[in-house]
Amino acid sequence: MTTFAIGVDLGGTNLRIAAIDSNGKVLEKTTTSTEVARGRDFVIDEMCAAIQSTTLKFRASGKFAGIGVGVPGIIEMQTGMVRESPNLPGWHDYPVRDEIERRLRTTVVLENDANAAALGEKWLGAGANVDDMCMLTLGTGVGGGIVLKGQVWHGMTGMAGELGHINVAPNGPPCNCGSCGCLEQLASATAIKRMAVEAIATGKAPELARAMNSEPEFSSKVVHQMAMQGDEGAREIFRKVGDALGVVLADLINIFNLPIYVIGGGVSSGWDAFAPAMMERIRKNSFVYRATAPAENARGVQGSHVPDDALPARRTTIITRALLGSDAGLIGAARLPMIMGQSAEPEAELKRA
Ligand SMILES: [Zn+2]
């Protein structure tokens, strides 16, 4: 009999739910909009109803491991509370885990959404062949997750791995977290659009200005397309994105010396536009990288999937794109109840006590 779990990805815009078995097979996947404006009780009601109907469908066909929920914002593992979430206003200090457990009478594991995405890539994606990895998720904001020995590194309370708020420019643009010049302000979709607007204001980016006036949905995607078409203004923005990512990755490589660093999220589709500047910065800033870099001519190493035989006697640092796309968080969330109890961290026991 197979085991299955329910993964929930609760975003500020979409609520996604999937039933996934222990082999990683997605049995069912649904997406509905998150009506955050109607309040958290409404969202929790909708979520629980959707979880229940999905669970019932598969309950007879396998052993049910539980529910994993990925939420944006910083969470406290021990209490199962969302401590702060810009995307979920009104959820501050709300006992999300206990509320869902009370309504569904089953085990719920709460996790930060970017941590869940890192766990998903570790299980079935770019990190499937390694024990330890680190992931940056470049979307509206920038999320991060560190997975060590197959488990999310939580730190003391569950808030570790906020890699999007590593500082790159202390006097840079203000960040939602209260700091200035965080990676999130230099490498997110929001940041790319802001930098384009700034470039247009200087009068030195005429093609970007034309695009903004003609495209009703002027976004980071448009800036990416223009960079790939060779527009210098757009290319400069992606060089800045790459440089900021390189600064942070060089630091992470120096700190952790992990075998793989994965970049996911919507902005990662702009890999070809930002990767050259990113790799240049990493080579310049990180002596650990230079000592562990793959051979220059090794095709398909940086930026594509790691083949099974890519871990030779001489171990190298791999920096690569994520493989699971927008499903990473959902898959990782479903993985949470499956590996619960395998953690070496005491909080897993504490939480249940
Ligand atoms: Zn920040």
Per-residue CA distances from 245 to 124, 137, 202, 225, 267 (Å)? 24, 11, 24, 20, 12
Helix (H) or strand (E) holding 344: none
Q: Is the pLDDT of residue 117 over 50?
A: yes
CA of 191 to the centre of ligand 1 (A): 12
3-class secondary structure for 120-152?
HHHHHCCCCCCCCEEEEEECCCEEEEEEECCEE
CA of 114 to the centre of ligand 1 (A): 15
CA of 84 to the centre of ligand 1 (A): 13
- At residue 89 the predicted structure's pLDDT band, cuts being 50, 70 and 90, is confident
Q: Which of 94, 84, 100, 77 is nearest to 39 (CA)?
A: 94
CA of 180 to the centre of ligand 1 (A): 6
CA of 188 to the centre of ligand 1 (A): 11
CA of 164 to the centre of ligand 1 (A): 7
In whole angstroms, what is the distance from residue 143 CA to residue 308 CA?
27
Q: Which two tokens stand for residue 200?
A: 């247009």
Mind listing the pLDDT tens digit for each residue in 288-332? 999 999 986 444 446 655 555 555 568 999 999 999 999 999 999
CA of 141 to the centre of ligand 1 (A): 9
CA of 213 to the centre of ligand 1 (A): 30
Q: 35 near 46, Cβ under 8 Å? A: yes
- At residue 345 the predicted structure's pLDDT band, cuts being 50, 70 and 90, is very low
In whole angstroms, what is the distance from residue 294 CA to residue 296 CA?
6
Which string of b and e fits 207-241 if b means at least 16 CB within 10 Å? ebbebbeeeeebebbbbbbbbeeebebbbbbbbbb
Task: Say how many Å lie between the first and final Cα of the chain, rounded.
Answer: 29
Highest mean pLDDT (candidates 34-43, 69-78, 85-94, 305-314): 69-78
Q: Supply the pLDDT for residue 314.
A: 81
Q: Supply the pLDDT for residue 90.
A: 86
Mind listing the pLDDT tens digit for each residue in 164-207? 999 999 999 999 999 999 999 999 999 999 999 999 999 999 99
Q: Supply the pLDDT for residue 104.
A: 93
Rounded to an integer, the average pLDDT of 129-154 is 96
Calculated CA dihedral for residues 267, 272, 277, 281, nearest 10 degrees = 80
Per-residue CA distances from 4 to 15, 44, 112, 224 (Å)? 20, 22, 21, 39
**274 contact partners, CB below 8 Å, separation of at least 6:** 187, 238, 239, 241, 242, 245
Residue 53 phi/psi, 5-degree rounding, is -70, -35
Q: 251 near 282, Cβ under 8 Å? A: no
Q: Which two tokens stand for residue 172?
A: 């840079």
CA of 187 to the centre of ligand 1 (A): 12
CA of 132 to the centre of ligand 1 (A): 25
Average pLDDT, the chain: 91
- At residue 39 the predicted structure's pLDDT band, cuts being 50, 70 and 90, is confident
CA of 52 to the centre of ligand 1 (A): 36
Query: How far is C-alpha 33 from the geometric centre of its chain's CA atoms?
Result: 20
Q: Is the pLDDT of residue 11 over 70?
A: yes
Q: Which two tokens stand for residue 27?
A: 């049995």
Rounded to an integer, the average pLDDT of 132-152 is 96
Q: Is the pLDDT of residue 129 over 90?
A: yes
Q: Supply the pLDDT for residue 348.
A: 41
CA of 177 to the centre of ligand 1 (A): 4
Strands 26-33 and 14-21: antiparallel
Q: Is the pLDDT of residue 154 over 90?
A: yes
Rounded to an integer, the average pLDDT of 130-134 is 97
Q: Is the pLDDT of residue 1 over 80?
A: no
Q: 271 near 321, Cβ under 8 Å? A: yes
CA of 110 to the centre of ligand 1 (A): 22
CA of 184 to the centre of ligand 1 (A): 6
Q: Supply the pLDDT for residue 262.
A: 98
CA of 181 to the centre of ligand 1 (A): 7
CA of 283 to the centre of ligand 1 (A): 25
CA of 225 to the centre of ligand 1 (A): 27
CA atoms within 13 A on the CB side of 177: 18
CA of 313 to the centre of ligand 1 (A): 39
CA of 166 to the centre of ligand 1 (A): 7
CA of 64 to the centre of ligand 1 (A): 38
CA of 72 to the centre of ligand 1 (A): 14
**314 contact partners, CB below 8 Å, separation of at least 6:** none
Per-residue CA distances from 303 to 44, 263, 275 (Å)? 38, 9, 8
CA of 165 to the centre of ligand 1 (A): 4
Rounded to an integer, the average pLDDT of 259-284 is 97
In whole angstroms, what is the distance from residue 243 CA to residue 309 CA?
30
Q: Which of 88, 82, 67 is nearest to 159 (CA)?
A: 82
Q: Is the pLDDT of residue 344 over 90?
A: no
